[in-house]
Amino acid sequence: MLTGVVFDIKEFAVHDGPGLRVTVFLKGCPLRCSWCHNPEGQSPAPQVLHGSAGERLAGVTFSSRALAVRLNSLAAWLRVGEGGVTFSGGEPLAQADFLAEVIDQLAGVHVLLDTSGYAEEDSFRKVAAKSQLVYFDLKLIDPVAHLAHTGVDNQPILRNLRVLNELGVPFVIRVPLIPGVTDTGANLSAIARTVAGMPGLQRIDLLPYNQAAGAKYAACGMIFEPTFDESERSNINLSCFKSAGLKVRVV
C-alpha cells in the first residue's frame, strides 16, 4: 500500500467544485509559478512553517487506506450536499500512484482533479480517467513565457489537455489572471483558440490575481519574487472567449 503526503484537508469547501466538498491538498509541485499562493505545497516533504502565530507542520503522511477511510467517513454528507472530494495541491499528479490508489478505495464519491496539467502522460491518464470532473490550469500558451514564469515547459501540459479531451472527462479551464503576464489579450486569445471546439469543455474560469499571494513565503523560509508588477490590477477580458462562443466567468 502506498503512502502520500498531504498538507491540508479542508472540509465544508464550497468554492472547490460543485456542491459541498472536501478538498485534499497533496504536497509537492514541479512548477515554480512566481505568483504561487501556496508555497508550502511546492516541496514534496513535510516541513515546519514558522509563522507569527508559532510553528505549524505542513505535511502529514497518510497511507492510501487511511486517507480513503477518512474521506469515506464523510461520504453520506458529501452526497447530501451534491458534492464530493477535490484533489488539489501543490500538484496532485506529483503523487499520481498514491492518488489513484486513494480514489480506487472511495465509496462512490464524486472526484474532482484540480491540476496544473504538468505530469507524465501515463500518470495523467490514470488519474483523469478515474475523475468525474477536471479543473485544468492553462497559464501561458507561449512556451518561452511559460518557462520564464513557471520554471517548466508547457508542452506536457498542452499534450495532457489533448489527452483529457480524448478521454471525454468533462473539464473546466482555469486561467490565473497575472497582471501583464497571463492576462494579456494575446495570451487570452491564444487560450481561447486552443480550447475552442473541445467537446468536454464546460466553461472557462478566470481567476484575478490574489494580492495576498506572498503572505506565506517567509513562514516557509522562502523569498517571494514575483515576475510581474504586483501593484497592477488584473485585466479582466471576457470578449476573446465570448467571441469564440465559449462560456466564461470570473471567480
For the chain, strand residue ranges (E) read: 3-13, 21-26, 47-51, 54-58, 60-63, 84-89, 110-115, 133-137, 171-177, 201-208, 248-250
The residue from 29, 67, 96, 141 that contacts ligand SF4 (CB under 6 A) is 29
x/- mask, ligand SF4, residues 226-245, rule CB under 6 A, reads: --------------------
Using rule CB under 6 A, residue 90 touches ligand SF4: yes
Using rule CB under 6 A, residue 115 touches ligand SF4: no
Give the C-alpha separation, 208 to 221, whole Å. 26
The residue from 42, 47, 95, 182 that contacts ligand SF4 (CB under 6 A) is 42
Chain positions 162 to 221 lying near ligand SF4, rule: CB under 6 A, are none
Q: What are phi and psi of 53, to 5 degrees?
A: -90, 10
Using rule CB under 6 A, residue 94 touches ligand SF4: no
Using rule CB under 6 A, residue 116 touches ligand SF4: yes
CB-CB contact of 40 with 48 (8 Å)? no
The residue from 11, 12, 14, 32 that contacts ligand SF4 (CB under 6 A) is 32
The residue from 17, 41, 117, 179 that contacts ligand SF4 (CB under 6 A) is 41
DSSP 20: S
Using rule CB under 6 A, residue 161 touches ligand SF4: no
Using rule CB under 6 A, residue 5 touches ligand SF4: no
Q: Which residues contact 193 (CB under 8 A, 6 or more apart)?
A: 244
The residue from 20, 36, 103, 128 that contacts ligand SF4 (CB under 6 A) is 36
Q: By CB under 6 A, which span of 32-40, 73-81, 156-164, 186-194 interacts with ligand SF4?
A: 32-40
Q: How many residues bind ligand SF4 (CB under 6 A)?
A: 12
What Å distances lie between residue 226 and 2, 182, 209, CA to CA?
36, 13, 12
Residue 93 CA to its chain's centroid (Å) = 10
DSSP 18: S
Judged by beta carbon, residue 31 or residue 68, the one nearer ligand SF4 is 31
What angle is formed at CA 193 by the lines to CA 173 and CA 32, rounded to 5 degrees?
50
Q: By CB under 6 A, which span of 58-66, 67-75, 89-97, 226-234 interacts with ligand SF4?
A: 89-97
Using rule CB under 6 A, residue 26 touches ligand SF4: no
CB of 7 to ligand SF4, least distance (A): 11
Cell 497575472, residue located: 178
Which string of DSSP letters, residue by residue, matches 80-134? HTT-EEEEEES-GGGGHHHHHHHHHTSSS-EEEEEE-S-S-HHHHHHHHTT-SEE
Residues of this chain that interact with ligand SF4 (CB under 6 A) are 29, 31-33, 36, 38, 41-42, 89-91, 116
